[in-house]
Structure 1
């Protein structure tokens, strides 16, 4: 479940979010990956930070445009460091 109602609405924000995860800015432990997914209840897209058991550690809503166009960014990771 995602308790944070903020929405990532462009690819630059998605990249910043990915960088924050990569740099440990959220203080998450056992991060194993990041994926774009849809909520089973309502089909709403989000970016999911997962642990090595594929359990959701952190999620942030994304717009449909970011969901469709951000797949490669999530797959390859952020280019800024």
Structure 2
């Protein structure tokens, strides 16, 4: 992962991360999608940014609670607030 200590542990931080990816704030090129996954080695969860070839461009660790509750936000994107 990009930073072992930088764990997303609340939905507001997940939303900021997703918006940053969508708005190009991370400087990533060729972003095609975002998904959640589990590390096979230690079972930790992370949110990942992929390109068209499913190559990992960027990832951040996420807490178990965010893995459980943030799936719709990752799947459907961040909804605009009214």
Q: Does TM, normalized by the shorter one, top 0.5?
A: yes
Gaps of 5+ in 2: none
Q: How does 1:55-74 map to 2 (within 5 A)?
A: 55-74=55-74
Partner of 2:2 in structure 1?
3
Indicate the RMSD between aligned Cα atoms, in angstroms.
1.1
Displacement of 1:80: 3.6
Distance in 2 of aligned mates of 1:31 and 1:3: 17
* CA-to-aligned-CA distance 1:3-33 (integer Å, 9 cap, x gap): 3120000111000000000000011010000
Residue-pair matches, total? 80
Other-structure match for 2:45:
45
Return the TM-score normalized by structure 2: 0.93
How far apart, CA to CA, are the structure 1 residues paired with 2:32 and 2:46? 17
Structure 1 residue runs of 5 or longer lacking an equivalent are: none
| TM-score, normalisation: structure 1 | 0.94
Task: Please give the per-residue CA displacement for 1:36-71, whole angstroms capped at 9, x wherever unaligned.
Answer: 101111110000000111111000000000001000
State the secondary structure of the residue aligned to 2:36: strand
Where do 4+ consecutive residues of structure 1 move more than 3 Å? Answer: none
